[in-house]
C-alpha cells in the first residue's frame, strides 16, 4: 500500500324473455324458406345434419388441437428449452470458488460507491510480509481509516474487509491533474473521514470513488510473486468483472500517484499482462 495517506392491462347475454318472444314472432316471415316442419326431407336433413357434421368435427378437432403439423412434436415430446448462453460467468459461483474470508470492518467503508462509478481495479503491494489477517487488524487499529477491499496472501488465500460497493480509502491523493486524466472527478459519495492533504503536487482524490483496491502481500525487491498468489489475483479479477458485468481498467497504485513504490518492479510484466489479457501471464 505504501501509505503516507489517509485515504460506493360483455355484453349482457341475458336478453329479456320479452325480446326473445318478439324475435320468435318475427321469425315466420322468412322461416318457410328455411324450415318446413311438414316436409320430411328437410326434417330428415335437419336431423341428420348434426350426424353428418359430427364425424367431421370429431376428425378435425383433435387434429387441430394436438398436431397441426405432423412434424411438430407434442409439448411432452419437445425438448426442454436450451440453457441461456453462458457467456457471462456467474459472479456468486466465482466468489464461492475463491473461498474468500470475509472480515468486514465498518470503519473501512467511506460511503456507497454508485455502480456506474466503478471503473478501475487498483493493484497494490502491502510492503510487508505480514499475512492478510494481521494487515487488516493493523489497518483497523492505526486510526487512518485506510484499507483496501481485498488482501491476497502469498499462498493465494484471499481476505475481504469491505463490500465491493463500498468506497474504501486505498488510493489516497493522486498527482494533481489525475482526476481529469482518469475521469474521477466526482468525490461526492466519499465521506473523506481521516483524509489529510499531502501537498499541491498530489491534490486529486477521486480514485477511491471509482475503484476496487487489491493488496498483494509483498515487499519491494524481495523476489518473485508466488504463482498461487498470482493465480488468486487472476480469479479475483474475473470475479470482480463478473460482479459488475464489465471489465474495469487495471492500474497499479503508482500510476495514480507517481513516486509510489507499489506495485513493485518485479510485478511489471504481470501488470502488462493483466492490462492486456486480465491474467498475470500471457494467454
Ligand atoms: Zn498502495
> In the chain, where are the structural domains located?
30-82, 91-277
Give the whole-angstrom CA distance, residue 122 versus residue 252.
5
Distance in Å, CA 40 to ligand 1 centroid? 105
Number of other residues whose CB lies within 10 A of the CB of residue 263: 25
CA of 129 to the centre of ligand 1 (A): 14
Q: What is the pLDDT of residue 37?
A: 40
Burial (CB < 10 A; 0-12, 13-18, 19+), residue 280, is: buried
Return d(Cα 266, Cα 276) in angstroms, integer.
Answer: 17
Nearest-10 Cα torsion for 261, 264, 268, 270: -130
pLDDT at 242: 97
Please tell me the predicted confidence (pLDDT) of residue 244. Answer: 97
**CATH, domain range 91-277:** 3.40.80.10
Q: What are the pLDDT digits (tens) for 146-190?
A: 999 999 999 999 999 999 999 999 999 999 999 999 999 999 999
pLDDT for residue 51: 38
245: CA distance to ligand 1 center in Å?
A: 25
37 CA distance to ligand 1 middle (Å) = 103
Distance separating alpha carbons of residues 8 and 56, to the nearest angstrom: 70
**pLDDT tens digit sequence for 69-92:** 445 445 455 555 555 555 567 999
Distance 91 CA to ligand 1 centre (A): 26
Output the tens digit of pLDDT for each of the chain's 283 residues. Answer: 654 443 333 333 333 434 433 333 333 333 333 333 444 444 433 333 333 333 333 333 333 333 334 454 454 555 555 555 555 679 999 999 999 999 999 999 999 999 999 999 999 999 999 999 999 999 999 999 999 999 999 999 999 999 999 999 999 999 999 999 999 999 999 999 999 999 999 999 999 999 999 999 999 989 999 999 999 999 999 999 999 999 999 999 999 999 999 999 999 999 999 999 999 998 6
Q: How far is the CA of 257 from the centre of ligand 1 (A)?
A: 9
Give the Cα separation of 42 and 34 in Å (integer).
Answer: 9
* C-alpha 1 to ligand 1 mean position (Å): 3
Tell me the CA–centroid distance for residue 283 and ligand 1, in Å: 27
CA 177 → CA 1, 18, 57, 174, 221, distances in Å?
A: 21, 90, 82, 8, 30
**Cell triple for residue 280?**
498475470
Please state, in angstroms and rounded to a whole number, the distance separating the CA atoms of residues 200 and 175.
Answer: 9
- Cα(263) to ligand 1 centroid in Å equals 7
- Check: CB of residue 166 under 8 Å from CB of residue 110: yes
- 30 Cα: distance to centroid of ligand 1 (angstroms): 99
Query: HSE (CB half, 13 Å, CA atoms) of 157?
Result: 7
How far does residue 115's CA lie from ligand 1's centre (Å)?
A: 23
Amino acid at each position: 500500500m505504501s501509505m503516507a495517506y489517509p485515504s460506493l392491462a360483455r355484453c349482457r347475454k341475458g336478453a329479456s324473455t320479452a325480446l326473445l318472444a318478439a324475435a320468435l314472432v318475427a321469425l315466420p316471415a322468412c322461416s318457410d324458406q328455411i324450415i318446413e316442419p311438414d316436409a320430411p326431407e328437410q326434417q330428415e336433413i335437419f336431423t341428420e345434419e348434426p350426424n353428418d357434421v359430427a364425424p367431421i368435427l370429431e376428425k378435425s378437432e383433435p387434429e387441430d388441437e394436438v398436431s397441426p403439423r405432423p412434424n411438430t412434436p407434442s409439448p411432452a415430446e419437445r425438448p426442454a428449452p436450451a440453457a441461456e448462453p453462458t457467456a457471462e460467468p456467474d459472479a456468486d459461483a466465482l466468489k464461492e470458488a475463491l473461498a474468500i474470508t470475509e472480515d468486514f470492518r465498518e470503519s473501512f467503508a467511506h460511503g456507497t460507491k454508485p455502480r456506474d462509478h466503478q471503473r478501475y481495479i487498483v493493484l497494490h503491494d502491502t510492503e510487508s510480509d505480514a499475512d492478510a489477517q494481521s494487515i487488516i487488524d493493523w489497518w483497523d487499529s492505526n486510526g487512518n481509516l485506510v484499507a483496501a477491499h481485498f488482501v491476497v496472501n502469498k499462498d493465494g488465500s484471499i481476505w475481504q474487509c469491505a463490500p465491493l460497493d463500498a468506497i474504501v480509502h486505498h488510493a489516497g491523493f493522486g498527482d494533481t491533474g489525475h482526476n481529469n486524466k482518469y475521469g474521477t472527478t466526482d468525490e461526492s459519495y466519499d465521506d473523506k473521514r481521516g483524509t489529510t492533504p499531502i501537498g499541491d503536487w498530489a491534490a486529486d482524490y477521486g480514485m477511491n470513488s471509482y475503484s476496487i483496491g487489491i493488496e498483494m502481500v509483498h515487499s519491494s525487491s524481495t523476489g518473485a510473486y508466488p504463482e498461487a498468489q498470482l493465480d488468486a489475483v487472476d480469479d479475483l479479477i474475473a470475479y470482480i468483472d463478473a460482479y459488475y458485468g464489465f471489465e474495469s481498467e487495471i492500474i497499479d497504485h503508482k500510476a495514480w500517484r507517481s513516486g509510489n513504490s507499489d506495485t513493485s518492479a518485479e510485478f511489471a510484466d504481470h501488470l502488462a499482462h493483466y492490462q492486456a489479457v486480465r491474467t498475470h501471464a500471457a494467454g
